A = this chain, B = another copy of it.
Amino acid sequence: MGTATYTSVEKEFLEYYKQIESYGEAIKLMAWDLRTKAPKKGVQRRSETLSFLSQKVHELKTSDQMKSYIDQLKNSSDPVIKRSVELVEKEYNQSRKIPVEEYKEFVELTSQAESVWTEAREKSDFEMFRPYLEKIVAFNIKFAEYWGYKENRYDALLDNYEPGVTVKTLDQVFPKLRDDLGILIEKVNTSTDKPNTDAILTHFPKEKQEAFALKVLEKMGYDFKAGRLDETVHPFAININHDDVRVTTRYDENDFRMAVFGTVHEGGHALYEQGLNKDLYDTPVCDAVSMGIHESQSLFWENFVGRNETFWDQYYELFLDYAPESFKDIPKHEFYRAINEVKPTFIRIEADEMTYPLHIMIRYELEKGLINEEIEVKDLPQLWNDKMEEYLGIRPEKDADGVLQDVHWSDGSFGYFPSYALGYMYGAQLKTALNQSIDIDEAIRNDDLSPVKHWLNQNIHQKGSMKEPLDLLKEVTGEGLNPDHLIQYLTDKYGQIYNW
């Protein structure tokens, strides 16, 4: 994969592409800064700079020069170049198919919509947001038509986040997943031996949480010479450049789980970015396969490592060095049960492992209905609440806790939510595959997680985006999308926690 074997046009193409990466670094640093450090008054000018630089990237991605590279290198004999061209061509086509004026209107609409949504959520006033959402849905329908699809209009949108995954794929797995989760949740609800979280929800100073979170990142093998941990309101991981992959977290002094499991989650994303192949740096394939595969990495670490009983058997002593005195009175197993409490919530981002996929399915069904014009925006609040009641057994009393809770629609993103549930299933499948050569629990007991990280590096991270998600999954696990691994994991784990 060294540049030595590239032709001169290939080298030129990579040099050209590197400009996009350079602008990307500036944009990502600005975004990180806005979400962690930037003073308020500078935000307005910063937004203008961000939009200026994004425009430059757009120009490079959709230029005649780019088209010329695509035409010249489509049949390159080098696999990296060939795949790179496929990736940039897809973006080129997606962008060029939308008339410039329409795209501008859409960008303006979404930038207004986000602040309207913020206010609407605060006031729990769906009607305020409705006209914007109606326009956003209409734009997404138009875009889907421009981009094209084979079977279902929603496929055109899904493809932006999870290439190769279609409505057909999802409709094959989601109903089974929903039914199986329904059975498990019923067992949880009727359990007579539920965990108690009272003892763990005690005041836990932020600095102590941070110190422990840093310890855990270190155990995971996160490279602090190529990253750092900062505080934010909405946690994220970001690759400012490939050797500068930062993690952020949020502290709730009355519930340490937010920061600790949030850090492990974002740390999982960061390990993916830090694990990309150095030989691919600055090429279009030096990127995650998809949102879903990215999420498989974060959920892998958060759930299969961080919420694993062996993890707490091994590290509870360490944890007690940071935790308030009162934790010393909590038996290790009770602590483990408490951090894994299953409890339906209105808010997706506060959901436990078991109910989380149901939140996603609700959004998926509504999005699919909207894009296929089978349901109308005006009916969303009612539909949302009905589905919450049906799937989770709870009904939001206000739209702020229901249809208005997520930012995604206001910024124009349709087709993104399914990746969260896909990542979860991918993750469980990867866990099964990894367990064939590596015993996660043993690695934890050895206080050496490097075999786990190494396996993920070799099987996922190093490959960049050379393959599409379902192809990669097949290559690594030997099978296609299969929800059984997730169900099996949840059945085993929660049967023990809830003693059913």
A207 CB → nearest B CB, Å = 11
List the one stretch of A225-233, A324-332, A390-398 in contact with chain B: A225-233
5 smallest CB-CB distances across A and B, nearest first, come from: A42-B244, A41-B243, A26-B26, A41-B226, A45-B241
Report A115-141 residues with CB < 8 Å from chain B CB: none
- Chain B CB within 8 A of A22 CB: yes
Task: Give the CA-CA distance A39 to B225 in the complex, in Å.
Answer: 5
* Interchain CB contact under 8 A, B39 and A53: no
For this complex, 8 residue pairs linking A to B, each with C-beta atoms less than 8 Å apart, are: A37-B228, A40-B226, A41-B226, A41-B244, A42-B243, A45-B242, A45-B243, A46-B241
* Given A26-B26, A29-B30, 8 other A-B residues pairs in contact with their CB atoms under 8 A: A25-B45, A33-B33, A37-B228, A38-B244, A39-B226, A41-B226, A42-B243, A45-B244
Report A229-283 residues with CB < 8 Å from chain B CB: 240-244, 246, 281
* Interchain CB contact under 8 A, A26 and B19: no
Task: Give the CA-CA distance A53 to B56 in the complex, in Å.
Answer: 12
Neighbour of A30 across the interface among B26, B38, B246, CB < 8 A:
B26
Report B-chain residues with C-beta under 8 Å of the C-beta of A38. 244
* Interchain CB contact under 8 A, A22 and B48: yes
Report B-chain residues with C-beta under 8 Å of the C-beta of A39. 224-228, 243-244, 246
- Chain B CB within 8 A of A353 CB: no
Task: Give the CA-CA distance A37 to B240 in the complex, in Å.
Answer: 12
Report B-chain residues with C-beta under 8 Å of the C-beta of A26. 26, 29-30, 49, 53
A9 CB → nearest B CB, Å = 21
Task: Give the CA-CA distance A240 to B40 in the complex, in Å.
Answer: 13
Task: Give the CA-CA distance A42 to B245 in the complex, in Å.
Answer: 9
Report A48-104 residues with CB < 8 Å from chain B CB: 48-49, 52-53
A39 CB → nearest B CB, Å = 5
Report B-chain residues with C-beta under 8 Å of the C-beta of A19. 52
Report A327-374 residues with CB < 8 Å from chain B CB: none
- Chain B CB within 8 A of A5 CB: no
Question: Which B-chain residue is minimally distant from A240 (CB atoms)?
Answer: B42
Question: Which B-chain residue is minimally distant from A36 (CB atoms)?
Answer: B37
Task: Give the CA-CA distance A246 to B38 in the complex, in Å.
Answer: 9
- Chain B CB within 8 A of A223 CB: yes
- Chain B CB within 8 A of A436 CB: no
Question: Which B-chain residue is minimally distant from A38 (CB atoms)?
Answer: B244
Report B-chain residues with C-beta under 8 Å of the C-beta of A246. 39
* Interchain CB contact under 8 A, A225 and B40: yes
What per-residue 1/0 map shows which CB atoms of A284-299 lie under 8 Å from chain B?
Answer: 0000000000000000
Report A2-23 residues with CB < 8 Å from chain B CB: 19, 22
Report B-chain residues with C-beta under 8 Å of the C-beta of A42. 226, 240-241, 243-244
Task: Give the CA-CA distance A430 to B40 in the complex, in Å.
Answer: 32
Question: Which B-chain residue is minimally distant from A53 (CB atoms)?
Answer: B26
- Chain B CB within 8 A of A496 CB: no
- Chain B CB within 8 A of A190 CB: no
- Chain B CB within 8 A of A192 CB: no
Residue with the highest number of chain B CB atoms closer than 10 Å, among A42, A53, A243: A42
Task: Give the CA-CA distance A48 to B240 in the complex, in Å.
Answer: 13
Report B-chain residues with C-beta under 8 Å of the C-beta of A29. 26, 29-30, 33
Task: Give the CA-CA distance A52 to B53 in the complex, in Å.
Answer: 13
Report B-chain residues with C-beta under 8 Å of the C-beta of A25. 30, 45-46, 49
